Structure 1
Amino acid sequence: MTAQGGIGLSVGTLLRRAAAVAPDKEIREADLAGRPTGTSWGALRRRVHRLVGALPRLGVGQGTAVATFAWNSTRHLEWFFGVPMAGAVLAPVNVRFSDEQIAWVVAHARAEVMVVDASLTGQLAPLLPRLGSVRRFVVIPDGGTVDPAFTDALSYEELLAGADPVEPRDVAENRIACLCYTGGTTGNPKAVAHSHRSLALHSLAVCTADAFAIRESDVILPLTPLFHAAAWGLPYAAAMAGAGLVFTGPHLKPGAITETLEREQVTLSAGVPTFWLALDELDPPKEVFASLERIVCGGSAIPSGLVRRYADRGVTMQQGLGMTENMALVALTNVRSSRASQPAEKQLDLHHTQGLAVPGVELRLVDGSGGVLPHDGVTQGELEVRSLWGAVRYERPGDDSNTTKFHDGWLRSGDIASIEPDGYIRITDRSKDLIKSGGEWISSIAVESALMEHPDVREAAVVAVPDSRWQERPLAVVVTRAGTSVTAYDLRSFLRGELPKWWVPDRFEFVAELPKTATNKFDKKVLRSRYADQ
């Protein structure tokens, strides 16, 4: 509800702002062949109004769920605005989910309409018999071949061509705008409902100086997919600020990213460490980074050496902390004024913490019985979060997760952390990833970070494996940089100068690639299963 004559907190408000203050600001993308193309905020709003006019033809009304199965593109973005603005519920589906997870998400969302990129119809075709709730399919033409199983599907462009534009009224703030699904590393993904109000408040927070500091002059490249917490909410925040946007579609190889950064003069980008490690290894010329000011990196810890190497290129790399439940925004590494006089090296070290809670977020540490612990930089406990836009429950979880993950309005993160008196968060580990060896805890994150400081290591994941003497011992699974020949002996010797002796892994496994989850994090569940019996 809003006061008479007031502005509602809604997705429509965000798009209206972009079209008013930056109608000609470009939203660029690469097509399936990698060729750059694009639109503008003004043109996108006109197409969204046409989409709102077309949705009733598909039987989409108040509360109807619409699933999308697509890469980052301007046409996909139109559904992120159009569906919520029509009072319906958007349910983006992760294209990297397993077949079982895809079918489960569509059924759980009760999606009646599903939108799919032409190039992804072949992936979805075998699942059609399992998508029984879907009455209509709409295909986004992206230059790909449409699978014959979709011959009866509507073309998105034809759908728009046959519709009259409708400028909708703002939707009630507390109406659900989208369902974002968690990674589902244990059991089925969980549905997190974000309202129009929560998306608008999140966008406001993202634009603040102590968060992503998004402004109209920015050109933003989200390497995070739209199907993952709406690309960390960056497109909605870009609309609020009137900033430019760049999408790469499926083109996520280091070479393609390098070309995009330079060609589009990107100022802000965001993505998991995998992207930035690969780009660092490519070592492109400094001209590629001429416009790039800052990188927001999240999903797993950033090696401190990587932060320094990007700083040498003139780019500030910030460690972010977030969860789907909080639209991927909880904390960010910024340098507090009280630490601004510290040497540059000490300030860079702050970017290896999880940073400070952004405006609108509150944090606390609790012990095993729920007792609140001090923020003294030493005491460790489970990190709990609440925010102006965060979820307080899952939608129809089908298990007891609403009881086990939420209590007293706080979300249990599963992270073990300490918090400095001035607010800096240092995560020791995920509670499920801590290694208990001989009765003592070992932080897998700390071992991974130390390993990735070795110049020949590209990626490393550390997991617990059974041990007859110590119950558990750390195992390191390592991806080395191309052209190097580092050995287990080399790494063990290196770590002995960086870590307590008993933290150093007994075993090292060298692999070409680490398994990743659907959200591009190291899949430690797979690693534990793979090496447990060896």
Structure 2
Amino acid sequence: MLRRAGAVAPGKEIREVDLAGRPMGKSWGALRERVGRLVDALSRLGVDEGDAVATFAWNSTRHLEWFFGVPMAGAKLVPVNVRFSDEQIEWVVAHANARVMVVDASLTGQVAKLLPRLGSVHVFVVLPDGGEVDPAFADAVDYERLLAEAEPVEPPDVAEDRVACVCYTGGTTDNPKGVAHSHRSLVLHSLAVCAADAYAISERDVVLPLTPLFHAAAWGMPYAAAMTGAGLVFAGPHLNPKAIGETLKREGVTLSAGVPSFWLALDKMEPAEEVFASLERIICGGSAIPSGLVHRYADRGVTMRQGLGMTENMALVALTDVRSSHTSLPLDKRLELHHTQGLAVPGVELRLVGDSGEVLPHDGVTQGELEVRSLWGATRYENPDRVDGSRFHDGWLRSGDIATIDTEGYVRITDRSKDLIKSGGEWISSIAVESALMEHPDVSEAAVVAMPDDRWQERPLAVVVARPGAEVAAENLRAFLRNRLIKWWMPDRFEFVSEIPKTATNKFDKKALRSRFTGH
């Protein structure tokens, strides 16, 4: 993939914003040369085939170099989520048995207190990102000096079934789960991502992943950009709406990807005709998209597509799309399709399974647990002794999502199995209630969880964050929801908070919310 980027788009730049907000760039050709040096440097550091190299860094071209260099050297890349707790970081590094750990200068302070507990690491390498290096890293290897002393070698051939990277899931209830992906699976996933019925990335695109590299390689977008020779942009660690808007405008971004909170914040950016002048399409995932958001972006000429992904499948599973049979529908009807999780992308199969393991019909009504299998998906966890490996069976993965699939293949997630609310024997979708709440102009975020109820077994509680400067009350929200929800889906209680806790993968931490509000 990297050879192709260097051959067909050697001068095309990977752009980024540093810690101080300054834009800079590096061509695919230059990146390929530096990755060749990194392969040689890893050998000089004593990294052998199959050894693990952990990274702890934000999105940047330097971090991206390790995503290519480590697998190309025959070693295993282990990107560690910088939002993990200290215990999770320690556990992942030990479980992977990482010999080398790469840390952004600005993150060395976060790692410094863990140094006595990272016994498997023999060498620390610091990536200069404009931040201060903690004194505890005084003897660490400086990345730029390491590359300067290395030779730009041609990497050796590596067997396609060798593990290229091990990604760890959020681990909200237990240790993070390790998912290994081979060179073959990365290439197949990248081919699927570039397909016209997926992200449709081409050489003409400028791609801005707002998802971190440590989240399934930023949903696989940088690898796909290399495969096609597309332009690539990293917006830096400070992802505030103003900085993102300036990056979209300055870099001529055509395709971007991120969670709904980014697009809700950017929705108010002005002047919209400048901010979104080049943007053609958005890939949105992680949580439900508020229904009106798709329409508002469509009015700006931007197609917002909802995606379904999971670490076990590298990233992409399904994506919203408008079938040829729907092109004659009115615009509003076509846009409604973008509120589903869409169609399985090429290379993926989906089915619904009932409580007894029976395969359920795809009629758009019957609900069941969504199961996935693909050409590139994992078939086991790397720490099966510590996690429930029964999610994998007969080549299928139990997703934990409750969904329907209609006769044309459109998937609609109704909830996570653990987040469904059972009230009076009937199910309430927390996702549907959250989506309706976030349509309120004064609501920034909303999470809905089940609370015990003596009469109905469970009832919904809504936890709401108001937009800055706005005031919103429970009676206002009830009036707003009255014609948008089934009557008995209306939350019994509203709690107003300044911030909703998030998991390490930036999803609502509903376990924390249930613990916080139970018994109030």
Distance, in Å, in 2 between the alignment partners of 1:286 and 1:476 is 35
Aligned equivalent of 2:408, options 413, 422, 427 = 422
- Aligned twin of 1:65: 52
- 1:354 aligns to 2:341 (yes or no): yes
Q: Structure 2 CA distance, aligned partners of 1:92 and 1:482?
A: 34
**Residue 485 of structure 1: how far off its partner (Å):** 2.3
Give the 5 Å matches for 1:95-494: 95-403=82-390, 405-494=391-480
Shift, 1:274, TM fit: 1.3
Shift of 1:59: 1.0
Q: Which aligned runs of 4 or more in structure 1 are off by greater than 6 angstroms?
A: none
Q: CA RMSD in A?
A: 1.0
| Identity across matched positions, percent | 80
Structure 2 counterpart of 1:526, from 491, 496, 512: 512
Q: CA deviation at 1:87?
A: 0.2
CA contact (8 A) 2:161 2:182 kept: yes
For the 8 Å contact 1:418–1:425, the answer to whether it is kept is yes
Deviation of the 1:400 alpha carbon: 4.6
Shift of 1:166: 1.2
SS in 1 for 2:165: strand
Separation in 2 of the partners of 1:110 and 1:434? 38
Query: Structure 1: how far apart are the matches of 2:157 and 2:260?
Result: 38
For 1:396 and 1:434, the matched residues in 2 are separated by: 28
2:245 touches 2:269 (CA, 8 Å); kept in 1?
no
Q: Work out whether residues 177 and 387 of structure 2, in 8 Å CA contact, stay in contact via their aligned partners in 1.
A: no
Q: Unpaired segments of 5 or more residues in structure 2?
A: none
1:303 is displaced (CA, Å) by 0.6
Deviation at 1:490, TM superposition (A): 1.5
CA contact (8 A) 1:50 1:164 kept: yes
2:76 counterpart residue number: 89
Q: Given the alignment of the two structures, is residue 506 of structure 1 paired with residue 506 of structure 2, yes or no?
A: no
TM-aligned CA deviation for residue 484 of structure 1: 2.6
CA contact (8 A) 1:296 1:318 kept: yes
1:397 Cα deviation (Å)? 3.1
Separation in 2 of the partners of 1:416 and 1:123? 37
Alignment check: 8 A CA contact 1:258 1:284 kept: no
Q: How far apart in 1 are the matches of 2:248 and 2:367? A: 40
> Which of 12, 26, 45 in structure 1 is aligned with 2:32?
45
Structure 2 CA distance for aligned equivalents of residues 431 and 136 of structure 1:
42
Match of 1:11 in 2: none
Q: Is the 1:325–1:391 contact (alpha carbons within 8 Å) kept by the matching residues of 2?
A: yes
Q: How far apart, in 2, do the equivalents of 1:285 and 1:342 lie?
A: 27
Q: Distance in 2 between matches of 1:434 and 1:272?
A: 21
Find the counterpart in structure 2 of residue 77 from structure 1. 64
Q: Is the CA contact (8 Å cut-off) linking 1:182 and 1:191 kept in structure 2? A: yes
CA distance, structure 1, for counterparts of residue 184 and residue 422 of structure 2:
43
CA contact (8 A) 1:223 1:269 kept: yes
CA apart distance, 1:233: 0.6
Displacement after TM superposition at 1:251 (Å)? 2.0
* Per-residue Cα deviation, 1:182-216 (whole angstroms, up to 9, x for no partner): 01122111000000000000000000000000000
SS for the counterpart of 1:19 is helix
Q: Which amino acid aligns with 1:71?
A: W
**Shift of residue 283 of structure 1?**
4.7
> In the TM superposition, what whole-angstrom CA distance separates every residue of 1:35-72 from its partner, at most 9, and x where no partner exists?
00110110000000011111111110100100000010
Once residues 223 and 164 of structure 1 are traced to their aligned partners in structure 2, the CA distance between those partners, rounded to angstroms, is 33
Distance in 2 (CA, whole Å) between partners of 1:258 and 1:530 is: 35
Instruction: Give yes or no for contact 1:281–1:481 (8 Å, CA) kept in 2.
Output: no
Instruction: Give 3-state SS (helix, strand or coil) of 2:257's partner.
Output: strand
Residues 65 and 245 of structure 1: CA distance in aligned 2, closer, same or farther (over 3 Å): same
Q: Distance in 1 between matches of 2:96 and 2:183?
A: 18
Cα contact 1:216–1:242 (8 A) shared by 2? yes
Q: Deviations over 1:441-498 (max 9, x none)?
A: 1111111111112222221110001112222110001112233322111111222211
Instruction: Quote the Cα distance in structure 2 between the aligned partners of 1:282 and 1:398.
Output: 48
Question: Size of the alignment, in residue pairs?
Answer: 520
- CA deviations 1:79-132 (Å, max 9, x no partner) are 000000000000000001111111111011110000001111011100101101
Structure 2 CA distance for aligned equivalents of residues 249 and 369 of structure 1:
47
Query: Following the alignment from structure 2 to structure 1, what is the Cα–Cα distance between the partners of residues 473 and 301?
Result: 33
SS of 1:308's partner is: helix
Report the Cα distance in structure 2 between the residues aligned to 1:397 and 1:316, rounded to whole angstroms: 40
Shift of 1:178: 0.2
Offset of residue 399 of structure 1: 2.8
